[in-house]
Amino acid sequence: MLPRRVCFPDPRALLRPEEITSPEVFSERISVLLLGGTYKTTRPGRHRQSDALLVGALRQKRPVVLDVGASDGSTALDLIAALGDAFEAYYVTDRALSLRVRADGGGRAFFYDADGACVLAATPRLLFYPAAAGSRRWSRWVLPGSRGAIPPFDPAYPEVSLVQPKLREIARRDARVRLKPHDIFQPWDGPAPTVVKAANILNRAYFSDDRIRLAARNFWRALSPDGLLLVIDNRDAEKASLFARTESGFGHIDSIHGGTEIKALILSC
């Protein structure tokens, strides 16, 4: 992946909390991060129709919600508000909920994931994605003054949260709301959810059909016997499909605007 010129937003502002003046600004700052093949792009209010569809299908049940690929949690806040107090637990999950960051005096910042890989190197003028580019591609690009070397990962580097401050505060006050790293291609190791919400993560722009099937099967195994799966796609308009877990797979309940492009794929799992 080639470097990108920094214009706006600049992820280095995550190191300066005083510059994060609103939830929208926070979302903008993390939108350039590329983790596990997906950008952490989101904004509040994206899933109003989908959330209403889900809340109606719950029929006043108090669900355990597993929100996967939740990015900074903006839309998790929306669904929590839509549910009101009517939920048992809400797990906000993503492959990475924080990163370690090393900044230097030259205005450069290096962002590392939990595996110690440098996922983003931001300079005053450019953004580099060394983990996505691979070592061969990366060797062609030299950061100014660094002789091309990425500083080695150090667990002592400061940790920067990728979760909305308001959601972090709610999680501190309400034990039902829990922030948990989770990879959709790995089995879920928490309590069985009654709802899995997968928004803007299961699509063919990101993953092959085989990878999508793997994630869907993990959801099926995780869900309680009467569980629901909500899949959302916001790439052009809000599209969504709601599925019910059955003994052998998933059954379609309802869709918005024709449903997600992977509806047939989910039904074939």
Q: What is the pLDDT along the chain (269 residues), one digit of tens a residue?
A: 544 555 557 899 898 888 888 998 899 989 889 888 888 888 888 899 999 999 999 988 999 999 999 999 999 999 999 999 899 999 999 999 999 999 987 788 999 999 999 999 888 888 888 877 664 455 444 455 555 578 889 999 999 999 999 999 999 999 999 999 999 999 999 999 999 999 999 989 889 999 999 999 999 999 999 999 999 998 888 999 999 999 999 999 999 999 999 999 999 98
C-alpha 96/C-alpha 161 separation (Å) is: 9
Other beta carbons less than 10 A from residue 150's beta carbon: 17
Residue that the structure tokens 């929306």 belong to: 78
C-alpha 75/C-alpha 15 separation (Å) is: 23
Q: What is the pLDDT of residue 4?
A: 54
C-alpha 107/C-alpha 203 separation (Å) is: 36
**CA atoms within 13 A of residue 54's CA, in its CB half-sphere:** 31
Q: What is the pLDDT of residue 242?
A: 98
Q: What is the pLDDT of residue 142?
A: 47
C-alpha 267/C-alpha 225 separation (Å) is: 16
The DSSP result for 185-209, as a single string, is TS---SSPPSEEEEES-SSTTTS-H
Q: What is the pLDDT of residue 102?
A: 94
Give the SS3 label for residue 181.
strand
Burial category of 239 from C-beta neighbours within 10 Å (exposed 0-12, middle 13-18, buried 19 and up): buried
Give the SS3 label for residue 23.
helix
Give the SS3 label for residue 159.
strand
Give the SS3 label for residue 179.
strand
Q: What is the pLDDT of residue 133?
A: 65
Give the SS3 label for residue 170.
helix
C-alpha 122/C-alpha 128 separation (Å) is: 6
What pTM was estimated for this model as a whole? 0.89
DSSP state of 19: G
Q: What is the pLDDT of residue 50?
A: 97
Task: Report residue 78 CA to chain centroid gap.
Answer: 15
Q: Is 259 left (phi over 0), alpha (psi -120 to 50) or beta?
A: left
Q: What is the pLDDT of residue 125?
A: 80
DSSP state of 15: G
Rg, Å, the chain Cα set: 19
Q: What is the pLDDT of residue 2?
A: 45
Residue that the structure tokens 């910042």 belong to: 109
